[in-house]
Structure 1
C-alpha cells in the first residue's frame, strides 16, 4: 500500500492492435518465389549480347565468368554474330585540311576504327605517325607505344593483325582483339623488308601470321620465300620443300589486300610472266603454306580494257572493273571468282556509274561491306596535291548509291580495310593490354559445357 493509503495503479501496456488483412494484402505478405529463365533462353540472350557487355558480365559470379570464357560459348557467340556483321575495320587518315597536304606527307591524324554502312565510325586507336625508336623495344611495352606507324594487315574472327610500314628489321607484329583489349606481340626475324598477311587454319584452329620475304641471292632476285608463324606452336617456320615463289607483292600495297575464308590475298607481280609488271592476285594457303597465282578475267588482260580493283565481296574473291572496255560511257562491272584452279570468273552485276564519278583515274574501291555494299572513293590529283571529292556507297543488288554523312564528315583517306566482327576470341599467347607483367591468377574453369545447367549457375540467373 502507498503511504497515503491509496493503492498504486499499475500501468498495463496496451496490446498491439490486431489487423485482419484483406486477401490481397495477405498475398503480398507471402514470400515471392522468383523463377529463373530456362538455360537455353539465357544462352540465346547472351549470344545476342555485345562483347563489351559480356566482358562486364564476367564480374557477376564465378559461374558467369566460367561460362563466358568457355571455348564452346565463345565459338557459338562468334557463329551467331558473324552472319549479322556489317563492320569494316579501317586504317585511314582524316583531317579537315587534308586537301592541302602532299600525297607523301604524314597525316596530322591517323585513326584505326570501325565503319558501318550506316551510323558513325567507332574510333579504336588514334595513331601518331611520328615514331621514335626505343632502346628497350619492346620491353615494358604498352599497346599505344607498340608502333606509331602501325597498319592493319588482316582481321579474322575478331582478331586483328597489326604490322608496320617498311620498318620490319628487329621489330614485331601483333595480334589484337580490340573488343576485349587482349594482344600478343610476335617478334620478327632480322628481315629488312617483308609483306605480312593473316590466315586461319580451321582444321587446327590455328591463327597464322604469313610473311612473304624477298630473296636476297642474286640468282633469285624478284623471287620470295614464305615464313609462317603458328600461334598454336608459338614459333616461326620456313615452308621447306615448297621452294621459293615467283611473286612479290605490290610495293604500294605492301601487306595482304584482303582475307577470304581465312586465306590472305596479295596484289603483286609474277616474276615468270612475260609482262613482269602485270598485276596478279597471289594467295598463300595457311594450311599447307603453298602459293597460288590467280589471273584476272581473261578479256581484261589486254591493256585499255579497264581499271581492275580486286576485293572481298560476300566472302568471295571479286574484282570491280572501272571503265570496262576503255569506254567511259560503259558500266562498272563486278566479277566473282567461281573456280581458283581454272580462274573461272562470272559477271555478277553491271552498275550505272554514280554521277559523281567523272574521273575514273581518281576513283578507288577500298573494300566491300560483308552485306555487299561497295565503297567508292573519288578524288582529283594535280601534281603532288590531292583533293578529296567524295565518298559514296553503292548497293550492286539494287543499284542504289548513297552516302554515310557521318563518314563523310571525317573526310578520310582510306588505307587498309578488312571485314571485322566483334568477338570474345582469345588466341593462344594473348595477354591483357596494360597487364603484361602481372602474374596471372588461376581462373575458374567449367569442365563440361552442360555444367551451366547446374543449380549453382541457374541461381545467378534470377530475374
Structure 2
C-alpha cells in the first residue's frame, strides 16, 4: 500500500514514530529503508521531535557500579521519576569510567580521560547502537608530554554538523593552549590555535550546550572568572559575565553550568563554611547579563556536611543531587522538602564522582552510517595501556597520568567537581 502513497504523506507519518518503531519500518521495503536513512529525513524526524514536546522530558543518568561497569538509564522528568529505559553500554575504559562531555540531539560524547589520557573520544547514539570513534588528536602525550585538556561537544544548526572542540594546556605554557576542532562531516581534527585564547578553562568544568554554543566556567589568565563560549556555527570564542559577585569569587570548582527550562543556568556552591549553600542562577534572556536571576537558594544543613554533588535542575525547579551516602535525591527551591528517588548507591568516592545527569532525547542521528556500522568496530580500535607502560606493581606510566591528578593536595580539595 505504501507504493501508492505520495512520499510527502509517508514522511509526514514516519516522522511522528518513536525511534524503536521507526527502526522496524526500515524492513518494510528498500524504498523505506533508503528514505529513513537519508540525512534529510533524519533531520526532519529530529526537528519534529524537538518541536512536539510530547510527554515528560527524559533525563540520562549514568552511574559506575562495581567492577567498573557503567550503567546508563533514561528517566522521565516527572513527579515519580519513572525509569524509561536502560541503555546498553558497549565500551571499555582503562579508567574507572568515561568522562561524559555532553549530550546533544540523542548523541553522547565520551572521553576516556578520567585519570589517564587515552586519546579515546567517542560520539555515540545509544538508542540505535551506533558510534563514531574519533581519530587521534594532533597533540598527544607521547609527543608533547603532560598536559590538561578541556572538551566541548555540540551541533552546528547552520551546517547541520556535529563538532568537538578540544583545548589543550601544556605544562610548558598554559597561556598559549592548542585548540583543535573536529567536524563529524569531515572526520579530521583541524588546528584552530590561531583563535588565541586568553582564558583557562577549569579542569572538569562541565559544559552546557545551548543556542548552538558550548559554555564552560573559565578564568582570565590574570583575572576573574567568566563563562567562556564557543559558537559552533561561527567557530569563534566569546565570553559572558557571571551573575552577581561570582566573577570575583576565587573558587572556580564551586561553579557548575547546566540547562534549566531551555535557559542557561549556573549552580554555585559554597563549601567553605560548615554548611553547604547552593544557589541557582538562571539567564532569563540568553546573552543579556542583566537577565541573570537568582532562582533559589538552598542551605543543606540537614545533610551533616561531607560530599554533596549537584547534578541537574529539573523542569519543576527541583535540584537533583547525590549526597555522601550515594542515594539520588530531589529537593525543592528552599531545601525544605527533600525526596529520596529510590535509587541507592554507595559512599565510595569512585561511585559518587561517576554519577552524572543530563537532558536527553531519542533520535536516529548516525543512522545514515549504514547497516555494517556498529559498536563492534569500536571495540577493536580502542587503545589500551601496554605492558611496558606499567611498572612491576601494575601501576601505569606517569606520562599518561594527568599532571593535576598527581598532586595530592588538589585531589583532596576537589570536593565539588566530578
Q: Same fold (TM over 0.5)?
A: yes
The CA deviation at 1:395 is: 5.6
Q: Deviations over 1:107-148 (max 9, x none)?
A: 6433233333322263324578763xxxxxxxxxxxxxxx88
Query: Which residue pairs with 1:88 in the alignment?
Result: 59
C-alpha contact 1:374 1:394 (8 A) present in aligned 2: yes
**Relative to structure 1, is the Cα distance of residues 354 and 346 closer, same or farther in structure 2, using a 3 angstrom cutoff?**
same
C-alpha contact 2:135 2:187 (8 A) present in aligned 1: no
Q: Distance in 1 between matches of 2:367 and 2:228?
A: 26
Indicate the larger mover: 407-416 or 63-72: 407-416
C-alpha contact 2:39 2:368 (8 A) present in aligned 1: no
Q: Distance in 2 between matches of 1:94 and 1:362?
A: 18
C-alpha contact 2:167 2:180 (8 A) present in aligned 1: yes
1:55-454 aligned within 5 A: 55-82=23-50, 83-84=53-54, 86-94=57-65, 108-117=68-77, 118-120=81-83, 122-126=85-89, 131=94, 149-165=97-113, 166-168=115-117, 171-188=119-136, 189-192=138-141, 193=147, 194-215=149-170, 218=172, 220-239=173-192, 241-242=194-195, 244-251=196-203, 253=204, 256-273=206-223, 279-301=225-247, 308-322=255-269, 333-338=279-284, 343-347=289-293, 349-350=295-296, 356-359=302-305, 362-369=307-314, 373-379=318-324, 388=325, 390-394=327-331, 401-405=338-342, 407-408=343-344, 413=352, 414-426=354-366, 432-433=373-374, 436=377
Query: Larger radius of gyration, structure 1 or 2?
Result: 1
Unpaired runs of 5+ residues, structure 2, are: 142-146, 379-418
Q: Deviations over 1:229-276 (max 9, x none)?
A: 11222222122542x21233323x16x433223322223433131x6x
**Relative to structure 1, is the Cα distance of residues 108 and 187 closer, same or farther in structure 2, using a 3 angstrom cutoff?**
closer
Q: Distance in 1 between matches of 2:278 and 2:193?
A: 43
**Relative to structure 1, is the Cα distance of residues 334 and 399 closer, same or farther in structure 2, using a 3 angstrom cutoff?**
farther
C-alpha contact 1:87 1:370 (8 A) present in aligned 2: no
**Relative to structure 1, is the Cα distance of residues 403 and 76 closer, same or farther in structure 2, using a 3 angstrom cutoff?**
farther
Choose between structure 1 and 2: higher helix proportion.
2
**Relative to structure 1, is the Cα distance of residues 302 and 263 closer, same or farther in structure 2, using a 3 angstrom cutoff?**
closer
The CA deviation at 1:93 is: 1.9
C-alpha contact 1:215 1:222 (8 A) present in aligned 2: no
C-alpha contact 1:151 1:163 (8 A) present in aligned 2: yes
C-alpha contact 1:110 1:129 (8 A) present in aligned 2: no
**Relative to structure 1, is the Cα distance of residues 390 and 409 closer, same or farther in structure 2, using a 3 angstrom cutoff?**
closer
Q: Deviations over 1:25-49 (max 9, x none)?
A: xxxxxxxx9xx99988876654443
C-alpha contact 1:195 1:213 (8 A) present in aligned 2: yes
> What is the CA RMSD across the aligned residues, in angstroms?
4.1
Normalising to structure 1: TM-score of the pair? Answer: 0.64
Q: Distance in 2 between matches of 1:344 and 1:325?
A: 28
**Relative to structure 1, is the Cα distance of residues 428 and 154 closer, same or farther in structure 2, using a 3 angstrom cutoff?**
farther
Unpaired runs of 5+ residues, structure 1, are: 1-32, 96-106, 132-146, 380-387, 438-463
**Relative to structure 1, is the Cα distance of residues 204 and 126 closer, same or farther in structure 2, using a 3 angstrom cutoff?**
closer
Q: Distance in 1 between matches of 2:334 and 2:47?
A: 25
Higher relative contact order, structure no. (Cα contacts within 8 Å, ≥ 6 residues apart): 1
The CA deviation at 1:58 is: 0.9
Q: Deviations over 1:44-70 (max 9, x none)?
A: 654443212211221122233233224
**Relative to structure 1, is the Cα distance of residues 167 and 389 closer, same or farther in structure 2, using a 3 angstrom cutoff?**
closer
**Relative to structure 1, is the Cα distance of residues 240 and 305 closer, same or farther in structure 2, using a 3 angstrom cutoff?**
closer
Residue 432 of structure 1 aligns to a residue in which SS? coil
